[in-house]
């Protein structure tokens, strides 16, 4: 079947509903994934979806394709992504499908596809599924697979809560921005002993208050205001499918997720000295400094939940994290990204240390740091632009320490580290956009780097500055614009 090849990304499949994806195409992708599983002698898969408007239709279509190849399907219904991973363990199956558009706008949808417990497809597996879809050469089964519906909510709650011990109660603001977590997150925090103030918990796949993306500074600032109004201890923002979070402290201040990576690294290294910690190229220099300060081994790696999980497994790392809000605990959990568990781990650490989040943050190095900035760029242009931009970038900063695909094989950007901060440009693996972050130790140097980044990006007419995928463009505003 002819399908837009760009929806087959490096680790997920993701596209625009009605344009890139419809029920017929989804059924074919389901058959391709079923073929992928049968080649590996996997005959069972769990499947779930987030709250997007196309979710139920796409789940039915994908399931139809799966069972056509003889794969038995366990339907988990509308769930958070981490519940799909948990379902793999609960039902002891390597097969797993999560139908989700994650942090993309309401009109996107896609698929995270399991290849083992807590593990999802990488580039080679996605390419295999893409080729099967294009050739339509599917596994021929003598019989159609079975479908059973199961509810694992209580089991999931029990599993998460047995791993957490809060020594005191917390007042927590939870904002789901009408995403799937509105069904689950408030209850699990209540069961953990928290007082919960809920915001935008009613499920609405139109996302009327904006895309549930915890890297969005506007979203996080709104959360901060509620935390101050409610005199809460913490604010937690979730993405659409629940595997990512963002937090604000009791003063309403945003902690970007690279700071959370550093906090989690410190907590783990206090208990497991000399552990390896994996973090992605978008993270602040804070992360490496904190890991080294507490005797750990910092390993910087390419962006993407699938790549980070694989690297954690290869290195035997205790923990890994990304600026986007994916956190992977390998000490007392399964090693996959679970936003509810990650948020509870923050509270557990605060209760153990008897500190507020702002007090804990104050003990870390201070950088003036931009949020993760996303700017629209066509899929067929973004790679060439970053390659071209990288050549100029390296020429402009010959003394900087450069991290690119010569350091990390397959990396999708270029990072320059200075004595007082960094700049990174990269293209996204899961959407038609480019991602940027920069930081400095002084306001003067921060503004200088901001001007450089903006000037560099403006030199490419292919960049789309008014696009639904753009996030945090305000962070590029300068005094003269």
Write out the catalytic residue numbers.
14, 102, 326
Max Cα–Cα distance, the chain, nearest Å: 69
Dist. CA 155–CA 272, nearest whole Å: 29
Give helix then strand counts, H and E, for the chain: 14, 22
The contacts of residue 188 (CB under 8 Å, 6+ apart) are: 157, 160, 161, 340, 344
Reduced to 3 states, what is the DSSP secondary structure of residue 234? Answer: strand
The contacts of residue 257 (CB under 8 Å, 6+ apart) are: 214, 215, 245, 246, 321, 322, 323, 324, 325, 327
Angle formed at CA 202 by CA 184 and CA 186, multiple of 5 degrees:
30
The contacts of residue 79 (CB under 8 Å, 6+ apart) are: 48, 49, 50, 87, 98, 152, 153, 180, 184
Tell me the C-alpha to C-alpha distance, in Å, between residue 132 and each of 2, 39, 173, 412: 11, 12, 45, 26
Nearest by Cα to 462 from 426, 422, 436, 432: 432
Q: What is the dihedral of CA 347, 327, 114, 433, to 10 degrees?
A: 130
SS (H, E, C) 235-253: EEEECCCCCCEEEECCCCC
Residue given tokens 């890994």 in the structure block: 320
Token pair belonging to 390: 């990288």
Could you give the strand order of the β-sheet that contains 297-301, starting from the edge strand earlier in sequence?
297-301, 276-280, 319-321, 327-329
Residue given tokens 């948990």 in the structure block: 86
Q: Do 290 and 179 meet the contact criterion of CB atoms below 8 Å apart?
A: no
Helix axes 123-135, 23-39, angle to 10 degrees: 120
In sequence order, the β-bridge partners of residue 237 are 175, 246
Dist. CA 349–CA 162, nearest whole Å: 16
């Amino acid at each position: 079947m002819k399908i837009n090849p760009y929806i087959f990304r490096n680790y997920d499949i993701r596209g625009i509903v009605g344009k890139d994806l419809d029920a017929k195409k989804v059924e074919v992708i389901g058959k391709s994934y079923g073929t992928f599983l049968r080649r590996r002698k996997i005959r069972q898969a769990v499947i779930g979806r987030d709250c997007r408007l196309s979710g139920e239709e796409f789940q039915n279509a994908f399931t139809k394709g799966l069972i056509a190849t003889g794969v038995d399907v366990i339907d988990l219904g509308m769930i958070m992504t981490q519940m799909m991973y948990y379902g793999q363990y609960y039902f002891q199956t390597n097969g797993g499908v999560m139908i989700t558009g994650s942090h993309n706008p309401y009109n996107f949808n896609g698929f995270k596809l399991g290849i083992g417990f807590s593990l999802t497809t990488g580039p080679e597996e996605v390419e295999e599924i893409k080729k099967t879809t294009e050739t339509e050469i599917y596994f021929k089964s003598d019989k159609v697979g079975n479908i059973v519906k199961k509810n694992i909510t209580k089991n999931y709650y029990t599993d998460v809560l047995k791993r957490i011990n809060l020594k005191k109660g917390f007042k927590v603001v939870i904002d789901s921005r009408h995403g799937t977590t509105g069904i689950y997150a408030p209850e699990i925090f209540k069961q953990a002993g928290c007082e919960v103030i809920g915001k935008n918990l009613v499920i609405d796949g139109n996302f009327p208050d904006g895309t549930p993306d915890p890297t969005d500074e506007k979203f996080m600032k709104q959360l901060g205001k509620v935390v101050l109004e409610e005199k809460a201890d913490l604010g937690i923002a979730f993405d659409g499918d629940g595997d990512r979070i963002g937090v604000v402290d009791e003063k309403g201040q945003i902690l970007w997720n690279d700071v959370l990576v550093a906090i989690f690294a410190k907590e783990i290294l206090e208990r497991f000295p000399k552990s390896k910690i994996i973090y992605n190229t978008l993270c602040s220099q804070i992360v490496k400094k904190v890991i080294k300060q507490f005797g750990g081994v910092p390993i910087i790696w390419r962006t993407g939940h699938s790549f980070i999980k694989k690297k954690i497994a290869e290195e035997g790392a205790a923990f890994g994290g990304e600026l986007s809000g994916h956190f992977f605990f390998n000490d007392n959990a399964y090693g996959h990204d679970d936003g509810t568990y990650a948020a509870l781990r923050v509270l557990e650490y605060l209760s153990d240390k008897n500190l507020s989040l702002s007090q804990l943050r104050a003990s870390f190095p201070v950088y003036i740091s931009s949020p993760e900035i996303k700017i629209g760029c066509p899929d067929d242009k973004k790679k060439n632009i970053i390659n071209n931009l990288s050549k100029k970038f390296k020429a402009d900063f010959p003394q900087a320490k450069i991290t690119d695909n010569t350091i990390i094989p397959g990396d999708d950007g270029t990072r320059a580290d200075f004595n007082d901060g960094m700049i990174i440009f990269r293209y996204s693996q899961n959407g038609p956009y480019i991602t940027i972050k920069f930081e400095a130790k002084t306001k003067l140097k921060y503004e200088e780097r901001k001007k450089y980044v903006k000037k560099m990006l403006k030199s490419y007419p292919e960049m789309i500055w008014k696009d639904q995928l753009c996030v945090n463009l305000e962070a590029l505003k300068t005094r003269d614009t």
